[in-house]
Structure 1
Amino acid sequence: MSFELPELDRRETQKAVEQVLEKYRLYKYLIFEEREGSITGSSEERFHGPTNMTSDQTGSIAIYNADQQAYRKSFCERLERAASRLPKLEKFLIEERYMQEESDYLTDYNVYCFKFQPSISEGTYTKIRWKAFYKLALNLNIAVIILDRNDLPEEPKHVQEILGIGRSQTYELFNKPPFQVVKIGRIYKVSKITFFKWLDGEQGN
Structure 2
Amino acid sequence: MTKQLSFLPKIDRVATQKKLEGVLESVRLYRQFGMMREEMKVTPSYEIRYHGPTNDVGKPLEDVAMANIQQSKREEWIKQTSFRIDQFLSRLGNGRAGKDQRNIIIKRYLEDEDVCDYMVYNEIGMSERTYRRVKARVFYKLAFALRLEVYETEETGGNE
TM-score in same-fold range (> 0.5): yes
Is contact 1:24–1:99 with CA below 8 Å preserved after alignment?
yes
Is contact 1:7–1:146 with CA below 8 Å preserved after alignment?
yes
What corresponds to 1:137 in structure 2? 143
What corresponds to 2:78 in structure 1? 72
What corresponds to 1:111 in structure 2? 120
Q: What TM-score does the superposition give when structure 2 sets the normalisation length?
A: 0.65
- Tell me, in whole angstroms, the C-alpha distance in 2 between the residues paired with 1:144 and 1:69: 23
Say if 1:30 and 1:12 are closer, same or farther in 2 by CA, change over 3 A: same
- Deviations along 1:109-146, one digit per CA (max 9) or x if unpaired, are 10111x21xx1110110111011001001111112345
- Deviations along 1:61-89, one digit per CA (max 9) or x if unpaired, are 69626544433322322222223322221
Is contact 2:38–2:68 with CA below 8 Å preserved after alignment?
no
Identity %: 32
What corresponds to 1:13 in structure 2? 16
What corresponds to 2:104 in structure 1? 93
- CA deviation after TM superposition for structure 1 residue 95, in Å: 0.5
Whose relative contact order is higher, 1 or 2, with alpha carbons under 8 Å and at least 6 apart?
Answer: 2
- CA deviation after TM superposition for structure 1 residue 27, in Å: 2.0
The size of the alignment, in residue pairs, is 135
Say if 1:67 and 1:12 are closer, same or farther in 2 by CA, change over 3 A: closer
- Deviations along 1:147-197, one digit per CA (max 9) or x if unpaired, are 6xxxxxxxxxxxxxxxxxxxxxxxxxxxxxxxxxxxxxxxxxxxxxxxx5x
Is contact 2:101–2:134 with CA below 8 Å preserved after alignment?
yes
- Tell me, in whole angstroms, the C-alpha distance in 2 between the residues paired with 1:24 and 1:58: 26
Is contact 1:8–1:144 with CA below 8 Å preserved after alignment?
yes
Which entry has the higher C-alpha Rg, 1 or 2?
A: 1
The unaligned stretches of length 5 or more in structure 1 are: 45-55, 148-195
Q: What TM-score does the superposition give when structure 1 sets the normalisation length?
A: 0.53
- Tell me, in whole angstroms, the C-alpha distance in 2 between the residues paired with 1:61 and 1:145: 34
Q: Give the counterpart letter for 1:91 in structure 2.
A: R
